[in-house]
Amino acid sequence: MKLASLTVGGVRRAGAVNDAEQGLALLPSSIGTVDDIVRGGPAALGAARAALATVPGADTLPLAGVRLESPLHRFNRDILCTGWNYWDHFEESKGKRDGQDPASHPDHPTFFTKGPDTVIGPADDIAYDPGVSAKWDYEAEIALVIGRDGRSIPEEKALEHVFGYLVANDVSQRDLQRAHGGQWLKGKSIDATMPLGPWITTADEIDDLGGLRVQCEVSGRLLQDATSAQMAFSFARIIAELSHGMTLRAGDVVLTGTPSGIGNAREPQIFLGDGDIVVTRVSGLGELRNKVVLTRLT
């Protein structure tokens, strides 16, 4: 099932996407929002599936005619993120981290967080203020949504805790990322800068987690192109290590890292600017299309 969020008549609703037919079936308001379905466990997802079978034709909308929002709007905490999870990305940035290079490949996933106010929808504008940062970078990523609470989850059971997967772009401000003692929170948490969506694809719909193709285009130029098979740490390993001694809760969003091709590592460097169109896609999970727009943030 592909669950999307949209507002109809001033009320946020959940919809089920049929991308083969490019349509969206509006689920009954009694089902609740996508946030409600994620937190409601198997019973809520089962109710959504059952309701889908009874949606009248009048409530099936052409996908091109609706404006999708971020699938999730209620966040338990910051967005949980994984850094350096494609070794080619780790290698491309060597010597370009302003003296913050680690000595070698990390033995464990590298984690950081970004504020939930970063989240925008799949077609929303990315806020851009050169007064905040001079180095706005793109990072195409696969995100996952936790569907069942758990702490110290064994790696072999980790995927049982995943509700589904979606697309994200961890737009980052590289100068801020380096300026605050080596931690990344500030350079990852500028408001209205992280597209998320376009919908959540439930875990049962994905047959090959190693075959997801991750791409990012900026104004028509393909700058990132990799597959999830190139990840240094698997989805299951990320969940197992992140949950070690720390409870993950239904509705938590986890970003799983970006591949090589980021702007900061290129020669010459490429950074986002006003008017750029950023297209982020993952095969089987959909596409985000966002415009970078000059916005006063200070």
Separation between Cα atoms, residue 60 and residue 45, nearest integer Å:
19
* Angle, vertex CA 169, rays to CA 246 and CA 260, nearest 5: 95
Closest CA to 5 of 22, 40, 29: 29
The pLDDT tens digits of the residues spanning 146-178 come to 999 999 999 999 999 999 999 999 999 999 998
Cβ neighbours for 147, distance < 8 A, ≥ 6 positions apart: 38, 41, 161, 162, 163, 164, 203, 250
User: Based on the number of CB atoms within 10 Å of its own CB, is 265 exposed (0-12), middle (13-18) or buried (19 or more)?
Assistant: buried
pLDDT band at 99 (very low <50, low <70, confident <90, very high): low
pLDDT tens for each residue of 212-245: 999 999 999 999 999 999 999 999 999 999 999 9
Q: pLDDT digits over 243-261, tens only?
A: 999 999 999 999 999 999 9
Distance CA(122)–CA(24), nearest Å, equals 15
> Is cis: bond before 154, omega within 30 of 0?
no
Which pTM was predicted?
A: 0.95
CATH code, 79-294: 3.90.850.10
Which are the contacts of 153, defined by CB distance < 8 A and separation ≥ 6? 161, 239, 240, 243, 248
Domain boundaries along the sequence of the chain: 2-65, 79-294
- Provide the percentage of residues in the chain whose pLDDT is more than 70: 97
Distance CA 229, CA 212 (A): 8
- d(CA 190, CA 130) in angstroms, rounded, equals 12
